[in-house]
C-alpha cells in the first residue's frame, strides 16, 4: 500500500503522490515511519471517466455527521467478512504549542495505554497516584529550570516522583488494549503522527464491529495517561535512534529548522529533546482536550458493513462525546525567504546532499504541477536525475525529488536528496542537479515525459487503495483536510489537466536561488569542498 522511495540508516521515506510526511508509529517495535497512502479502490473501477467512477463510489459511500460534529464515512465492500477502521484527527506537529514540540506524538502513544476499565487492576487506586506523580514532576521541572537551582530540593522531588511512579505501576495491566483486539481477530493495530495529522487504525472481523465502537469511543472519551513518563523515555530513545544516531536523520532535522524561521514545520515531529523531557501529563491532557474534539475528527469504516447499523452504533457510542470548542487553527505564516541558506554538518558518515525550495500547500493550483515535476525529475529509472547522476555519469548512488515535505496542509518544501558516489563531493552532485533544474526551467520537458508521469501517478493512486484500510485512510484524509472524500477523484482530474507550460512556469517561479536551502553532511575526517556554493 505504501510506496517506499528511499531507505537509509534506519529512515524510511514514503511518497504520497505529491506528499511526503514522516509519521511516527506507536505500535510497531521498530517505530516504522508511516505515511498515509493515496489511491483508488481497484483497477477494475478505472475503465471509464472520473465522473463514472465517482457515481459508482457514491453508491457505496454513506456519510453522516453526529450532532456533536463527528463525521463518519462508511464504504461498503462486501468482498470478505472483515472491516477496517480509521480514526483521523486533524492535528499534527504543526499544531503544537511552543515548548511542547512532540506532544502530538506523545498523546498518540497514550492512546494505546487503555482506559478507566482497560489496562488497570484498580483505576480508583491508580488515578490519585498518577495525579500526584504529575504534580511532583511539574514541581521538579519548575525547580530545575530556576536560575538559582536548589539541588537538595531537586533530588528530593525526583526521589518522590520515582516512588510514586513505581507505586502507580503496580496497577498496570500491560498491553491489555492490544490483547483484547488480538483475541478477537484484530489485525494491523497501529497509529501514526505526522506534521498535519494523527491517524489510528486496525481491522476486525465484521461481526466484531460493536467491539471496535466500544473500544474506540472509550479510549477517546476516557483517556488515561498511564505510564506517561516511562513512555516518554521510549520516545526519547526513539529520537536517539532516528535522529542523533542517524546521519540522514540529523540532516533532515537541520534542513527543516533552517528552512523555516517562524512556521512550525521547522520543528521535528518527534519533538526537541528538551521539550519532550519538560512535557507533563497536564500539558498533554490540555492538548488532547483542545484538539481531540468531534469536529476535528473523521472516522472511516470500509468493508463488509451495513451503513444503517454503523449509524446506530455511532450514535450509541459516540453521540455523548462532548462537542467542545472548535480546535484552534494555525495562523502563523512563513515570510518569503530573502536569500539562499546553506549549512554543513559533520559526522562519521558518507556525504549526503539535501536541497529544499519553498513551495505551496495542497490546495494551491501549483501543487499538482509540482507533484508531476518531482516524478519527471527523479521518479524512477527513467527520470532525468536518475539517468544522468546514477546511470550516465555515475556521480550518485541514489537521488530523489518530490514536493510536500514535511507536510502538505500548509506551504511546504520541494526536496531533492542525493547520495554521492565514492570519491564524489556533494558540490559536484549539486552542480549536476542544478543543471537539470535549469533545463526544466528552460522548457526541456517533453510531452512523453509528462504523459509518463501522469500515467505513473494514476497507477500509484490505483494501487494505493486496493485494501479496506487504504481506502478508509485516503477517504478520511480527503474528507478531513479537503472537505470532501470526493477530492480523491478531483485530484486525479487536476493531474490530467497539467500542461508543459504549467511545469515550466512553476519551475521558474519556485526553483530560484533566493528561495532555496541547501544542506550537506560531510565526513568530519575528510577534507571537502562541500560547503562551496555553485555559481548558478
Q: Which of 283, 318, 353 is the last residue of a domain?
A: 318
Alpha helices in 145-225 (DSSP H): 151-169, 176-183, 209-221
Q: Tell me, yes or no, whether 423 and 457 share the same domain.
A: yes
Inside any domain, residue 529 = no
Provide the residue range defining the domain that includes 62: 23-28+35-318
Q: Tell me, yes or no, whether 314 and 392 share the same domain.
A: no
Alpha helices in 497-535 (DSSP H): 500-510
Q: Tell me, yes or no, whether 298 and 177 share the same domain.
A: yes
Q: Tell me, yes or no, whether 224 and 140 share the same domain.
A: yes
Q: Tell me, yes or no, whether 122 and 186 share the same domain.
A: yes
Contact 451, 445 (CB under 8 A): no
Q: Which three cell numbers stand for residue 199?
A: 491517524
Q: Tell me, yes or no, whether 312 and 385 share the same domain.
A: no
DSSP, collapsed to helix, strand or coil, labels residue 407 as coil
Measured distance between the N- and C-terminal CA atoms of the chain, rounded to whole angstroms:
39
Number of domains in the chain: 2
What pLDDT score was predicted for residue 466? 77
Inside any domain, residue 331 = no
Q: Tell me, yes or no, whether 314 and 452 share the same domain.
A: no
What pLDDT score was predicted for residue 1? 28
Inside any domain, residue 3 = no
Contact 301, 84 (CB under 8 A): yes
Inside any domain, residue 327 = no
Question: What is the distance between the alpha carbons of residues 356 and 410, in angstroms, rounded to a whole number?
Answer: 15
Question: What is the distance between the alpha carbons of residues 310 and 176, in angstroms, rounded to a whole number?
Answer: 25
Q: Which three cell numbers stand for residue 416?
A: 531533492
CA angle, residues 343, 345, 348, in degrees to nearest 5: 160
Residue 73 has a CB neighbour count (10 Å cut-off) of 25
Q: Tell me, yes or no, whether 272 and 392 share the same domain.
A: no
Residue 29 has a CB neighbour count (10 Å cut-off) of 6
Inside any domain, residue 364 = yes
The pLDDT profile of the chain, 536 residues, written as one tens digit per residue, is: 222 323 333 333 433 333 333 334 444 333 333 333 223 233 333 334 455 556 677 789 999 999 999 999 999 999 999 999 999 999 999 999 999 999 999 999 999 999 999 999 999 999 999 999 999 999 999 999 998 888 999 999 999 999 999 999 999 999 999 999 999 999 999 999 999 999 999 999 999 999 999 999 999 998 999 999 999 999 999 999 999 999 999 999 999 999 999 999 999 999 999 999 999 999 999 999 999 999 999 999 999 999 999 999 999 999 999 999 999 999 999 999 999 999 999 988 899 999 999 999 999 999 999 999 999 998 888 899 999 999 999 999 999 999 999 999 999 999 999 999 999 999 999 999 999 999 999 999 999 999 999 998 888 777 766 789 989 999 999 999 999 999 988 888 899 999 999 999 999 999 999 999 999 999 876 544 445 556 56
Q: Determine the angle formed by the axes of helices 228-239 and 151-169, rounding to 10 degrees.
A: 110
Contact 269, 23 (CB under 8 A): yes
Q: Determine the angle formed by the axes of helices 281-291 and 103-110, rounding to 10 degrees.
A: 90
Closest of 433, 435, 417 to residue 351, by C-alpha: 417
Q: Tell me, yes or no, whether 305 and 378 share the same domain.
A: no
Q: Tell me, yes or no, whether 372 and 294 share the same domain.
A: no
- The alpha carbon torsion through 398, 402, 407, 413 (nearest 10 deg) reads 100
Closest of 379, 397, 493, 491 to residue 445, by C-alpha: 379
Contact 323, 68 (CB under 8 A): yes
What pLDDT score was predicted for residue 37? 29
Q: Tell me, yes or no, whether 309 and 348 share the same domain.
A: no
Question: What is the distance between the alpha carbons of residues 46 and 486, in angstroms, rounded to a whole number?
Answer: 15
Inside any domain, residue 397 = yes
Inside any domain, residue 456 = yes
Contact 190, 27 (CB under 8 A): yes
Q: Tell me, yes or no, whether 314 and 345 share the same domain.
A: no
Inside any domain, residue 336 = no
Question: What is the distance between the alpha carbons of residues 262 and 266, in angstroms, rounded to a whole number?
Answer: 8
What pLDDT score was predicted for residue 460? 79
Give the CATH number for residue 197: 3.30.830.10
Amino acid at each position: 500500500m505504501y510506496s517506499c522511495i528511499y531507505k537509509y540508516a534506519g529512515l524510511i521515506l514514503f511518497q504520497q503522490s505529491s506528499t511526503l510526511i514522516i509519521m511516527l508509529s506507536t505500535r510497531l517495535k521498530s517505530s516504522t515511519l508511516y505515511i498515509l497512502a493515496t489511491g483508488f479502490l481497484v483497477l477494475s473501477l478505472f475503465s471509464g471517466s472520473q465522473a463514472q467512477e465517482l457515481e459508482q463510489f457514491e453508491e457505496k459511500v454513506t456519510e453522516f455527521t453526529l450532532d456533536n460534529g463527528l463525521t463518519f464515512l462508511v464504504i461498503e465492500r462486501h468482498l470478505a467478512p472483515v472491516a477496517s477502521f480509521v480514526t483521523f484527527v486533524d492535528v499534527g506537529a504543526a499544531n503544537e504549542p511552543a515548548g511542547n514540540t512532540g506532544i502530538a506524538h506523545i498523546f498518540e502513544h497514550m492512546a494505546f495505554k487503555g482506559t478507566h476499565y482497560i489496562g488497570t487492576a484498580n483505576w480508583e487506586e491508580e488515578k490519585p497516584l498518577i495525579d500526584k506523580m504529575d504534580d511532583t514532576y511539574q514541581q521538579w521541572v519548575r525547580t530545575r529550570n530556576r536560575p538559582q537551582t536548589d539541588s537538595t530540593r531537586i533530588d528530593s522531588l525526583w526521589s518522590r516522583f520515582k516512588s510514586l511512579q513505581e507505586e502507580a505501576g503496580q496497577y498496570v495491566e500491560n498491553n491489555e488494549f492490544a490483547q483484547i483486539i488480538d483475541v478477537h481477530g484484530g489485525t494491523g493495530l497501529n497509529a501514526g503522527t505526522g506534521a498535519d495529522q494523527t491517524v489510528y487504525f486496525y481491522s476486525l472481523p465484521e461481526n466484531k464491529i460493536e467491539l471496535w465502537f466500544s473500544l474506540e469511543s472509550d479510549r477517546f472519551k476516557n483517556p488515561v495517561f498511564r505510564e506517561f513518563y516511562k513512555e516518554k523515555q521510549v520516545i526519547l530513545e526513539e529520537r536517539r535512534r532516528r535522529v542523533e544516531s542517524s546521519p540522514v536523520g540529523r540532516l533532515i532535522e537541520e534542513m527543516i529548522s533552517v528552512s523555516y524561521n517562524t512556521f512550525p514545520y521547522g520543528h521535528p515531529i518527534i519533538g526537541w529533546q528538551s521539550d519532550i523531557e519538560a512535557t507533563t501529563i497536564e500539558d498533554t491532557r490540555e492538548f488532547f482536550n483542545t484538539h481531540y474534539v468531534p469536529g476535528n475528527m473523521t472516522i472511516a469504516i470500509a468493508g463488509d458493513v451495513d451503513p444503517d447499523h454503523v449509524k446506530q452504533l455511532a450514535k450509541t457510542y459516540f453521540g455523548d462525546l462532548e462537542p467542545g470548542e472548535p480546535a484552534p487553527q494555525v495562523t502563523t505564516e512563513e515570510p518569503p525567504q530573502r536569500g539562499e541558506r546553506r549549512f554543513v554538518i559533520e559526522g562519521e558518515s558518507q556525504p549526503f546532499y539535501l536541497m529544499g525550495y519553498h513551495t505551496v500547500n495542497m490546495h494551491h493550483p501549483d501543487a499538482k504541477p509540482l507533484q508531476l515535476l518531482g516524478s519527471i525529475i527523479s521518479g524512477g529509472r527513467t527520470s532525468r536525475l536518475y539517468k544522468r547522476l546514477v546511470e550516465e555519469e555515475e556521480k550518485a548512488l541514489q537521488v530523489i525529488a518530490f514536493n510536500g515535505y514535511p507536510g502538505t496542509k500548509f506551504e511546504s518544501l520541494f526536496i531533492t536528496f542525493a547520495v554521492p558516489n565514492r570519491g564524489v563531493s556533494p558540490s559536484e552532485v549539486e552542480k549536476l542537479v542544478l543543471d537539470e533544474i535549469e533545463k526544466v526551467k528552460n522548457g526541456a520537458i517533453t510531452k512523453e515525459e509528462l504523459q509518463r508521469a501522469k500515467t505513473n501517478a494514476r497507477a500509484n493512486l490505483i494501487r494505493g487503495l486496493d485494501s479496506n484500510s487504504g481506502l478508509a485512510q485516503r477517504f478520511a484524509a480527503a474528507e478531513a483536510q479537503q472537505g470532501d472524500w470526493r477530492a480523491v477523484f478531483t485530484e486525479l482530474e487536476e493531474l490530467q489537466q497539467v500542461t508543459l507550460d504549467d511545469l515550466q512556469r512553476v519551475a521558474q517561479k519556485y526553483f530560484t536561488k533566493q528561495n532555496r536551502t541547501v544542506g550537506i553532511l560531510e565526513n568530519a575526517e575528510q577534507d571537502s569542498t562541500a560547503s562551496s556554493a555553485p555559481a548558478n
